[in-house]
Amino acid sequence: MKKINFIILLVAAMSFAVTNLNAQNFKASDIEGVWLNEDTDAHVEIYKNSGKYFGKIIWLRDPIDEETGKPKKDKNNPDESLQDQPSLGLKILNDFIFDGDDEWEDGTIYDPKNGKTYSCYMKFIDENNLNKLKIRGYIGISWIGRTTYWTRVGE
């Protein structure tokens, strides 16, 4: 009987140890900071507000619209009343919550290049590297969508 109890205890301890080795131990705030998009033409600052995470454009490689010679506007926005808002400062990530494990979910991403908004989740691609972010925008289910990768901008 003592051998069986010892074996059960040993298996439970090993199981617990393996689970803890695989845990990412991310903090919700790990996502905060400035990120370079995959096209390398914008920096997006991710920040927390009222318990949720948002992101706004804070830098553009080409901030001037070639057609007008003025600062770029959100001209592809489907809401005509918003097409005159500047691209700099434009909020493109909205309402993300941290799942307590490894993903920021239940948010949306707005693509100013086509004026569309998608459901979205974000996660680090490697638990040991907090400088590469996978962003998956989708319609309906996450299988139907597009993935982009952002890189943290050095402080």
Cα–Cα–Cα angle for 140, 73, 36, nearest 5°?
A: 65
Rounded-to-integer distance, Cα 44 and Cα 47, Å? 10
Residue 28, phi then psi, degrees to nearest 5? -55, -35
Q: How far apart are the first and last CA of the chain?
A: 60
Question: What's the token pair of residue 51?
Answer: 């318990």
Q: How many alpha carbons lie under 13 Å from residue 9 in its C-beta half-sphere? A: 6
Q: What is the pTM of this model?
A: 0.82
pLDDT band at 154 (very low <50, low <70, confident <90, very high): confident
Could you give all domains of the chain from N- to C-terminal order, each with its CATH number?
A: 26-152 (2.40.128.520)
Q: Please state the rounded mean pLDDT for residues 129-138.
A: 96
pLDDT (tens digit per residue) in 66-76: 999 999 999 99
Give the per-residue pLDDT at 2. 57
Please check the confidence at residue 127 and state whether its pLDDT lies above 50: yes
